[in-house]
């Protein structure tokens, strides 16, 4: 929920979410400076709590955020 948390606290939150609704979609939104390996570790943490619906949020590049022919 956009709040920074420790890995232990994240695991606790995800376990609680799993108990409430094991079909919850978890969306990971990482800063572009975060190494890919760390994102994979978080994905593994999510899956290890029993949640299987995981997505990675992306943002279009600046040049992709406008329709063709639209001025910036």
Tens of pLDDT, residues 15-64: 999 999 999 999 998 888 999 999 999 999 999 999 999 999 988 877 65
pLDDT at 66 over 60: no
Q: Band of the pLDDT at 67, cuts 50, 70, 90?
A: low
Question: With contact defined as beta carbons under 8 Å apart, do 68 and 40 qualify?
Answer: no
Q: Band of the pLDDT at 70, cuts 50, 70, 90?
A: low
Compute the distance between CA of residue 50 and CA of residue 35 in angstroms, rounded to an integer.
Answer: 24
Q: Band of the pLDDT at 69, cuts 50, 70, 90?
A: low
Exposed, middle or buried: residue 70 (CB in 10 Å: 0-12, 13-18, 19+)?
exposed
């Amino acid at each position: 929920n956009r709040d920074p948390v420790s890995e232990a606290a994240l695991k606790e939150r995800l376990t609680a979410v799993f108990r409430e609704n094991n079909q919850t979609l978890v969306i990971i939104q990482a800063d572009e400076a975060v190494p890919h390996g760390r994102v994979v570790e978080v994905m593994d943490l999510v899956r290890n709590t029993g949640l299987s619906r995981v997505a990675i949020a992306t943002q279009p590049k600046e040049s992709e955020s406008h329709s063709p022919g639209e001025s910036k």
